[in-house]
Amino acid sequence: MSLSSFFSPLTRRTKWRGIQGLCYNEKGISAVEFALIAPVMVLLYFGCIELSLLMRADRRITTTAASLGDLAARLSVITDDDMREMFQAADVLMQPHGAGNAKMRITCVADTGDGQARVQWSDGHNLTAHAPNTILSVPAGIIPPLGSVIVSEVEFDYTSSLGFVIDTTQTMGDTFYLRPRRVTVITRDRDGGSGPPAFGPTT
């Protein structure tokens, strides 16, 4: 039997109704739509979670950098014990991430009259301290004439605990500039002599 003889009993109207039946058959359409939309919705859901965690870590870094600079700017003389206490404070502020792996640096930069921003002293944790008398680039107008500022820097390598959307380490950081509250230039008193102290707990 040929195909033409097989379909010959079907009238044009019957054929059209069959096509219409296929077009208007909605059985299982919800399952198909869900299968198409579900992966996108899951991706958006986990993406929002990871983005919120990333923003939370960035806020912790900003808060830590601002607090370190503020703590240093309140003192007139900074000792090794003061530096250790500031690191311990940073460890609390960085929770739940912790400051053990963070890169931090506190630097006193002053204009001694030549219009240049020169490093007076610097201490770093997981970050190399600036050498004294080094010219440091700072934003214009930050240092008053014959004055100084405390530069606090924090960098942190953030790794998502989920890794579903953000699957690479993100390096974030922030820098704050604060003028001393009580003196023109804050003195750095190193207990152990000329060498830089450990910036952190001794044990």
Taking the model in full, what pTM does it have?
0.73
| pLDDT score, position 151 | 95
How far from 134 is each of 24, 107, 110, 131, 174, CA to CA, in Å?
A: 78, 11, 11, 6, 21
Query: Is residue 131 scored above 80 in pLDDT?
Result: yes
CA dist., res. 137 & res. 79, Å (int):
26
The angle subtended at Cα 127 by Cα 161 and Cα 185, nearest 5°, is 125
CA dist., res. 46 & res. 145, Å (int):
51
Query: Is residue 199 scored above 70 in pLDDT?
Result: no
pLDDT tens digits for 25-65? 566 677 777 788 888 888 888 888 888 888 898 999 999 99
Higher pLDDT among residues 7 and 100, named by residue: 100
